[in-house]
Amino acid sequence: MDLAYIPSPSTGVIHLGPLPLRGYAFCIIIGVFVAVWYGNKRWIARGGKAGTVADIAVWAVPFGLVGGRLYHVITDYQLYFSEGENWVDAFKIWEGGLGIWGAIALGAVGAWIGCRRRGIPLPAYADAIAPGIAFAQAIGRWGNWFNQELYGKETDLPWAVKITEGVNREAGLYHPTFLYESLWCIGVALLVIWADRRFTLGHGRAFALYVAAYCTGRGWIEYMRVDEAHHVLGLRLNVWTSIIVFALAVAYIVISSRRRPGREEIVEPAADLTKATSKAAGDGDAGSGEAGSGGAESAGAAADAGPTDAGPAEAAQKDADAESAGKS
């Protein structure tokens, strides 16, 4: 008899009249909101303008969703394009299936477009939103719980997740790998926040740290999963992806810290210009008062000196008039 386990929802969707409300979608939406909200706070703290993170997210989020879905469909193409499967299901994103690697890659393209339109360096923007992305992943993983997917091997641990009978799954108690990854992502976010404050990370190194730390956890969590996946040399494809991306992230941190140490002084030129203009306006108001006072003093001095300076000129004019009269 199992005394303790994590129950799974009886359904991942609630119908509000004709409108289906899906738990998976709610988790994604809440995660995006948290990432933008927290990223905005970090961006302002680094000298940026409020609202910039949300403006760029308008580009990054749709690109990220498309990239995440493409990665999933390409790496698990047999679920949609093999015999007996319906390729139309590849568009049913609400049923689950977003690859974080594709989401980050194509999301970065969208963020680059948004940053370029505003004259903002992409690495600085990536550093600001890195912890928020990790928090968003932590929340988004609970969407897998609603869909009863991406669980691990069977276990009798008290925190096992109970999976019910369904399509492509057998009833039983399994490792809740969605929970493991959710907790890991929270730890990654806290690590990046601490390291950013402790070492003043810049030029994309905070984002690279997030990527490296996430890959470390994703590697061992992925190894526990039992869902169908492609294998290369005995390892799941996503394990190899984690290893490669981890190595690239660490290499970036090392090379970047040597070539561009420190942190960007200006992350948003428009915000810096606004501050400079406001400061100049304040100095100008004070300066005009000083200039007015100085001008009045100068005018007063000129008025006092007027009669003294005019004396020689008047004498010269009288001499010239006398000489002219004598000639006449």
d(CA 176, CA 238) in angstroms, rounded, equals 18
Q: How far is CA 132 from CA 47, 136, 284, in A?
A: 18, 6, 41
- What is the Cα–Cα distance from 264 to 195, expressed in whole angstroms? 16
Q: Tally the C-alpha atoms within 13 A of residue 272's C-alpha that lie toward its C-beta.
A: 10
Q: What is the per-residue pLDDT for 281?
A: 56
Collapsing DSSP to helix, strand or coil, 28 comes out as helix
Residue 120 pLDDT: 94
Give the pLDDT confidence score for residue 159 in this predicted structure: 93
Tokens representing 53 are 């993170």
The whole-number pLDDT of residue 186 equals: 98
pLDDT at 17: 75
116, 66, 113, 121: which is closest to 91 by C-alpha?
66
Q: What pLDDT shows up at residue 72? A: 86
Taking only the tens of pLDDT, the chain with its 328 residues reads 456 789 998 877 877 777 777 888 899 999 999 999 999 999 999 999 999 999 999 999 999 999 999 988 888 877 788 787 878 888 877 777 788 889 999 999 999 999 999 999 999 999 999 999 999 999 999 999 998 988 899 999 999 999 998 877 889 999 999 999 999 999 999 999 999 999 999 999 999 999 999 999 998 898 888 877 778 888 888 889 999 999 999 999 999 999 999 999 888 987 655 555 555 555 555 555 544 444 444 444 444 444 444 444 444 444 544 444 444 3
Interacting residues of 118 by C-beta distance below 8 A, sequence separation 6+: 52, 55, 56, 268, 270
| Token duo for residue 6 | 């994590």
Mapping DSSP to helix (H, G, I), strand (E, B) and coil, where does residue 201 land? coil
Helix locations, 88-160, DSSP H = 100-118, 122-140, 142-147
Q: What letter does residue 227 receive in the DSSP assignment?
A: S
- Cβ pair 197, 191 in contact under 8 A: no
Q: What is the reported pLDDT for 285?
A: 53
- The phi, psi pair for 156, rounded to 5°, reads -110, 20
pLDDT at 283: 56
Q: What local confidence, expressed as pLDDT, does residue 313 receive?
A: 46
